[in-house]
Amino acid sequence: MARVLSLFTPSGRPTLGNLLGALRPSAQRLTADAARTDHVYGIADLHALTSPHDPALLNDRALELAGLAVAAGIDPERCVFFRQSAVAAHTELSYLLESTAHYGEMQRMIQFKEKSARHEVVRLSLLTYPALMAADILLYQATDVPVGADQSQHLELARDLADRFNRAYGPVFTPPRAVLPATAARVMDLADPSRKMSKSVDSPGTIHLLDPVDVVRRKVMRAVTDSGSEVTYDPAAKPGVSNLLAILSACTDTPVEALSYSSYGALKRDTADAVIALLEPLQQRYAAIAADRAGLEAVLRTGAEQARALAAPTLAAAKRAIGLTAA
């Protein structure tokens, strides 16, 4: 049976891009495939340690993201849903994969280059966390991993490490395959459509999932557009308009080619309405979930127990294969 795995990192306030590119597609995949596919979803709080953070805020962000994931339709009753740090096998397998990886390939990772260039002090975990990401995937023998363009290199590394480990020590891991993202999986910043909408970068063009409705409308109506007045989908020549069309398409499940507008103003109004129509019920569901924090924590504890049981055979096999325990 196929097994889908996705982990979501609480490195900031979740955005519309996170909803359209990760949370909602994961929920839709779960609804469509639960009968014939295993699903493993989690909050990758260990990945948030690669940059400076406030411990109390990290915990709150992790729970907020978990609540939003459930509100978006990721049903803990139909999948394994857990907090990464509650499953020690992730860090244990990560070290075995660090001992399989090469310094050069870690240093060449695009995200390491980009993020390290922004900081005077670079944490070692920023260099090595792709091994942890590989451990996240390989630990559960995941066959299908949804990835965007910015994560494809990490998945290739996971495949390389799985193959290298298997050749050196025996067949332990299932090399995962990428699941390509749907339209609008990469939502761009409304104020600067040359960059992705980011939960870790403060920008007036970022729509956060818990933004009030009036704030959401204002951000969309102030979105950067392009020279000329023609509304066409052309990400190279018209990145601002194309971003709005992609967002509207994703929110309404309407193909971009079926959207027709004669003015930027009408496009912005309809996009704002569509985003609000998507976020309002999500926020209402989240409010009910967040009101029962103890209940959400209990859901994550149950999921962690399931994840530990699922991960244990793979970790044991890897330790035997590499020579840490008797074969």
State the Cα–Cα distance between residues 74 and 67, nearest whole angstrom. 10
Closest residue by Cα to residue 248 from 268, 218, 226: 268
Find out whether 39 and 79 touch, Cβ atoms under 8 Å: yes
Find out whether 190 and 220 touch, Cβ atoms under 8 Å: yes
Q: Is 196 a catalytic residue?
A: yes
Residue among 196, 219, 238, 268 flagged as catalytic: 196
Residue among 113, 199, 268, 319 flagged as catalytic: 199
Q: Taking the CA atoms of the chain, what radius of gyration do you get in angstroms?
A: 20
Residue among 113, 115, 219, 268 flagged as catalytic: 115
State the Cα–Cα distance between residues 58 and 46, nearest whole angstrom. 10
Alpha helix (H) residue ranges in the chain: 16-18, 24-33, 55-71, 89-98, 103-107, 110-117, 124-138, 152-169, 213-221, 239-252, 264-290, 293-322
Q: Is 113 a catalytic residue?
A: no
State the Cα–Cα distance between residues 119 and 103, nearest whole angstrom. 20
Find out whether 137 and 176 touch, Cβ atoms under 8 Å: yes
Across the beta sheet with 144-146, what order do the strands follow? 80-83, 37-43, 2-8, 144-146, 177-179
Residue 52, token pair as written in the block = 């400076």
SS3 81: strand
Q: Is 319 a catalytic residue?
A: no
Please list the active-site residues: 115, 196, 199
